[in-house]
Structure 1
Amino acid sequence: MKPETAVIDVFGKHSIYLEHYKKDEAAKTIIMVNGAFATTTSFTQTVRYLRDKVNVILFDLPYAGRSKEFNVNGKIVTKEDEVDILQYLIDRYRVNYLMSASWGGVSSLLSLARRPPTMEKAIIASFSPVINTAMRDYMADARTFLSLGDAASAAQLLNNTVGRYLSNLVKSHNFNYLLNSVKGNEEQLIFHINQIFEFDQKQYMQQFSSIDIPILFLNGELDEYTTPAEVRVLSEHIPQSEFAVIEKAGHFLDLESRHLWRTMSNIIREYFFESEERNYTAVQSGFNTALGQNLAFAEAGD
C-alpha cells in the first residue's frame, strides 16, 4: 500500500512533507515522530505492522528528508518549533496514537503535555531524559565532526556507537543516507546537539507531569545511550507510565534483526490494539513504577 503524500504549510512558517497511509476513514490514526538524523524512511518497517490496524502519519522536519527542498530559507528549527509542528499535525489529522523514536521523545512528550483532546495512548521508544556519559561523549564527538565539515566521520560515528547492533547491510545504507542528509545541515545539527546538551531535566519534568494518557516507554536491554534503568525516573512524573525492556536489543530496536522486528510488532500491536489479550510473556522485574509494574517482554515460544 502506497501512502498519499502532501506538503503541509504549518503557520506560514514551515513546509512539511507528509506521508499518509490510509486504512479507512473510520480507523484511528497514529503519528510517528523521528529522532535526530532520521526521516520518514526510518519507520518503513514499523509501518508494515501498523497499517492494517490504523491510518499512519509520517513526516519530515523542515531541515530533513523530503521537507528540506521546500524550506530553503535556512532558518534554524528549534525544539519549540518541533513541538508546534507536531501539535499542528496531531490537531489537523485528529491523531489518536503516537510513537516516537530516540530524541523525538522530547517533542512528543512536550506535545502530549498540552493534552491534545484526540490522543489516547503513546509509545516513547529509545528515549531517556538522562544525558549519561555515553550519550554525552557521542554527541560531543558528533558535534566536533560536524564543526569540521567531516560528514563521513559523523556517519561512521553513529554506526560505531548507537548503531553498533545494526547489521552490516543496514549500516552501509545508514552511512550513505547520513552522508547525504548531513551535508548542508551541519549548522542545524550542531544546534540540535547543543539543545540536547542544554536539556533542562527539571524544567521538562514539570511539563511532562501534565500528561494524562497512558504511555509505554520502550528501551533496548543493550542500549548504553538511553538505558532502560535511566528512563524510569519518568515514572515519578507521568502517572500512567509503563516500562518495557526489549531483550538483546540496542538503540535501534526493530531495525536490528528480524527477531526484534517480530518482538516489537507484537508489543506495539498488543499495547495499542489488543490490551485485553497479552500474547507474550510479561516478566516482573525489581523496578517500581507509578503503576506498580515494570514489564520486560519477550515473544512467547520464540
Structure 2
Amino acid sequence: MSDDRRLDVLRAIVEDYVQTHEPVGSRVLVERHGLGVSPATIRNDMAALEEAGYIAQPHTSAGRVPTDRGYRLFVDKLSTIKPLSAPERKAIQVFLEDAVDLDDVVDRAVRLLAQLTQQVAVVQYPSLRRSALRHLELVPVGETRLLVVIITDNGRVEQRVLELDDPVPDHIVPELRARLNATVAGRRLIDLPEPLEEMATGFAVVDQPLVQRVVHVVEDTLAEATEERIVLAGTANLARSGTDFTQTIRPVLEALEEQVVLLRLLSEMAEDSAGFTVRIGRENQHAGLAETSFVAAGYGSQSEPVARIGSLGPTRMDYAGTIASVRAVARYLSRILAG
C-alpha cells in the first residue's frame, strides 16, 4: 500500500468528519475525493489505517472516524496552513489596535479568537518573569506613603503602596527614581535582584532602610503568584459543537474552571519550529480534556514569548483554520505589545 495514498485517505476522512460530524465510509470517499483508485482499494487502505490505529469504527456497519493518533499524523503532515483572508487580517489589526491598555488588548484578543474559531479561546497574561522593565516610578502619596509603579515592556502595570514609619525625605525620591531606572531599564525582571541589591548599597547609610524597602517591593512583585492568570472566552461555543461532543461537555467545563490545569498545559506547550503547538486528545494529560484538542502559540517575541494564546475545541476541529487564526492573533498581539 502506498504511504502517500494512505495519507490521502486519512486526510479525506479527517476533513469529511470535521465537516459532517458523521463517520466516513469508503463510498463517500470515492464520491467526494478524486483519489484515483477503486472503491476496493480504498476499503483496503481504510482497513490498513484501522489496523495501524489511525481510524476506528464507532459502530458496526458504520463508517470510520479518526483516532487521536490519526489526528496527530494529519496535523504533523499538514503541508500548508489555510491563510486568513485580507479582510480578516485587516479586521484583526484594527480591532486590536483600538485597545487602550494591556487589559483591553488581552480582552479583545480572547474575544476575537473565540469568534474566529467558534471554540474556546484562552489568553495567558504576559509573565512578569519573562518581561523586561520599561520604567519604574515613585510617587509620594502622603508623608509616610510611597507609591511604587512598575511598567513592563509589554504594557503591564503593577502598583504597590509602601507604608513607612517615618516621613519620606524630599531629596531621596528623585535620586532613587533615577538610579532605579538606570539599573532596571531594558532588563528582564527575573535578572533584576542582583543589580538592585548592588544599586542599594550605593546610597548613604541613613537612606538605606527606605531604599531596601523599595527594592524588596520590586522583588516581591515578580515573585507573586498572581502574575499567572488567564482569560477565557467562547465557552458557550462548546455547546454548539454537535451532539457527539456535547455529551462529554461537562468534564471539559470542569477542567476549564480549574485555571491551574490550563496554566500547566500552556507552560508545557513549548514552542516548536512552526511557531505553534497542538495537543490532541489524551496528549492533554487531563481526563476532562481527553476529547479536546488545544492549539497554542506564543506572543511577545519570536526568541522568547512572554505568554501564550490558544484555542480549545473538539478533537475533530478544523486544525488548519484554527492554527491560522491562533497564529494570526498572536502575531498582531506581539506587534501591538512591542509598539
TM-score range, shorter chain: under 0.3
Instruction: State the structure with more CA Rg.
Output: 2
Give me the TM-score of the superposition, normalised by structure 2: 0.21
Give me the TM-score of the superposition, normalised by structure 1: 0.23
Q: Which has the higher contact order (CA 8 A, sep 6+)?
A: 2
